[in-house]
């Protein structure tokens, strides 16, 4: 066979790819050991490394190069190996941001000394006081409940932190347990459960990746004695949406073994509506807390950074929202206006309280925003369009650069993401862990007026925010490195 320049180049590219795959494969056990033995969660600009394939790890490195600076496997693997050798305690480590800090420090500082300086609070803390654990009960097991279960199982780690102990549902059929497990195992939007699930019909339990979940059947939030299942001082996450005020949700507090309640919906009255990263300080010792709505969580981080930098005079928020289970599949009676019409066949104009709810998280914006919503025939991922008037003019490039930097290195980098691509569509954001993702290509500016387009996975992204609120309530969130 004749060798040509083209075939030689092809062989070289293939060999280079194989080498990169081998390095990514070598990284997998190191990432796993850091998590299982030390409780260290590693990521690249919010893209988790845990449980990823070699190709996914390579894609995460490519993402880092595309949005910021070059990050190679030759940078990442030695850093993770050096961190492992230092026997750290639980922590959340963003490798890309840590690598940038390393470059800023200079090569004259050894990697070990650099890590000791940056992560000094947790270095050598393996086997020491790893913090408390907190029992979690999911009351209801619908779309959000099952995604919360997936995230909590994924975060189980060394057994410290949040521990999913039980789910509470009404019994729907004789084979209820197997059906609940099947819905956890398979999801038409988010794909198959990443692991193994075993059902124990005799004991009413589901074993998922080593997490034993007690399934409790009850028709009333005040009728369960959780202590008989070994559950104590638990936080109950109410996913049903049936009770929205303190009186209704406080029924959970009557149950032995329950200490606090978190609602996965906007609360009524004076309940603290928490958007993680924004107003966590409001949680305090409150017995009942709400995690607001998916839309409120999506828009508040972007509004926060914009208002802090440019000042918001006023504006309108329009939400293009995927249909939800409270709509009808085909036309039928519904107590809400327009929502009785087929969700799969129509765009449905409806109202949203998200714009008003912003003021609960950002009081400085009270009375400055209006809002509306259009439900559309997609099963997941929504978009908020922020039409704002600012206190000062800004050019499109400057605004986008500010938002990109905020998403990478700002205080809200876990809540705010940024994308700059002419080809992305809604399904590209399924599974995104951020509360909202600014689409830089769609940004419009005209003097002091701007229009921002913010994507959000209204199921999974919101569920990640709920878990962050849970961690804050339980005081079990590991320290984040590098510090902002």
Active site residues: 294
Cβ neighbours of 132 (radius 10 Å): 11
CA nearest 258: which of 221, 292, 220, 214?
221
Rounded CA separation 221/228 (Å): 16
CA nearest 396: which of 370, 360, 420?
420
Sequence-ordered list of residues with C-beta below 8 angstroms from that of 2, at least 6 positions apart, any chain: none
User: Quick one: CA dihedral 87, 91, 96, 98, positive or negative?
Assistant: negative
Question: 3-class secondary structure for the chain?
Answer: CCCCHHHHHHHHHHHHHHHHHHHHHHHHHHHHHHHHHHCEEEEECCEECCCCCHHHHHHHHHHHHHHCCCCCHHHHHHHHHHHHHCCCCCEEEEHHHHHHHHHHHCCCCCHHHHHHHHCCCCCCCCCCCCCCEEEEEEECCCHHHHHHHHHHHHCCCCCCEEEEEEEEECCCCCCHHHHHHHHHHCCCCCCCCCCCEEEECCCCEEEECCEEEEEEECCCCCCCCHHHHCCCCEEEEECCCCCCCHHHHHHHHHCCCEEEEEECCCCCCCCCECCCCCCHHHCCCCCEEECCCHHHHHHHHHHHHHHHHHCEEEEEEEEEEECCCCCCCCCCCCCCCCCCCCCCCCCEEECCCHHHHHHHHCHHHCCCEEEEEEEECCCCCEEEEEEEEECCCCCHHHHHHHHHHHHHHCCCCCCEEEECCCCCCHHHHCCCCCCEEEEHHHCEEECCEEEEEEEECCCHHHHHHHHHHHHHHHCCCCCEECCC
CA nearest 114: which of 102, 126, 125?
102
Show the tokens assigned to 102.
């390393």
> What's phi and psi for 164, nearest 5 deg?
-70, 115
């Amino acid at each position: 066979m004749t060798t040509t320049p083209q075939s030689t180049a092809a062989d070289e590219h293939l060999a280079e790819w194989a080498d990169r795959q081998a390095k990514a494969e070598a990284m997998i056990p190191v990432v796993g050991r850091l998590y299982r033995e030390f409780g260290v969660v590693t990521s690249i600009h919010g893209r988790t490394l845990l449980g990823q394939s070699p190709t996914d790890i390579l894609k995460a490195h490519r993402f880092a190069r595309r949005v910021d600076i070059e990050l190679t496997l030759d940078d990442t693997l030695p850093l993770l190996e050096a961190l492992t050798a230092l026997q750290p305690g639980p922590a959340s480590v963003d490798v890309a941001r840590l690598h940038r800090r390393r470059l800023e420090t200079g090569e004259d500082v050894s990697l070990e000394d650099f890590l000791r300086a940056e992560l000094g609070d947790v270095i050598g803390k393996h086997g020491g006081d790893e913090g408390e654990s907190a029992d979690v009960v999911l009351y209801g097991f619908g779309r959000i409940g099952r995604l919360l279960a997936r995230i909590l199982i994924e975060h189980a780690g060394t057994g410290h932190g949040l521990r999913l102990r039980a789910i509470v549902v009404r019994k729907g059929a004789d084979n209820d347990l197997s059906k609940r497990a099947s819905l956890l195992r398979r999801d038409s939007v988010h794909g198959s459960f990443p692991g193994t699930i075993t059902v124990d019909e005799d004991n009413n339990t589901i074993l998922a990746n080593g997490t034993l979940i007690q399934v409790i059947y009850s028709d009333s939030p005040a009728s369960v004695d959780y202590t008989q299942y070994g559950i104590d001082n638990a936080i109950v996450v109410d996913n049903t949406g049936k009770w929205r005020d303190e009186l209704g949700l406080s029924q959970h507090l009557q149950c032995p073994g329950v200490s606090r309640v978190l609602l996965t919906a906007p609360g009524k009255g004076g309940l603290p509506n928490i958007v993680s990263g924004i107003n966590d300080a409001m949680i305090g010792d409150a017995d009942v807390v709400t995690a607001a709505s998916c839309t409120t969580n999506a828009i508040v981080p972007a509004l926060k950074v914009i208002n802090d930098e440019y000042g918001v005079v006023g504006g309108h928020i329009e939400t293009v929202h995927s249909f939800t289970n409270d709509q009808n599949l085909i036309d039928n009676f519904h107590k809400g206006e327009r929502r009785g019409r087929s969700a799969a066949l129509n765009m449905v104009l409806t109202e949203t309280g998200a714009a008003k709810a912003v003021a609960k998280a950002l009081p400085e914006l009270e009375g400055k925003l209006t809002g509306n919503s259009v439900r559309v025939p997609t099963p997941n991922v929504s978009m908020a369009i922020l039409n704002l008037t600012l206190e000062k003019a800004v050019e499109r490039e400057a605004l986008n650069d500010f938002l990109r930097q905020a998403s990478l290195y700002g205080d809200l980098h876990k809540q705010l993401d940024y994308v700059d691509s002419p080809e992305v569509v809604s399904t590209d954001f399924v599974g995104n862990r951020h509360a909202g993702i600014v689409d830089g290509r769609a940004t419009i500016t005209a003097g002091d007026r701007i229009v921002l387009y913010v994507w959000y996975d209204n199921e999974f992204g919101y569920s990640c925010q709920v878990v962050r609120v849970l961690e804050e309530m339980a005081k079990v969130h590991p320290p984040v490195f590098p510090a902002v």
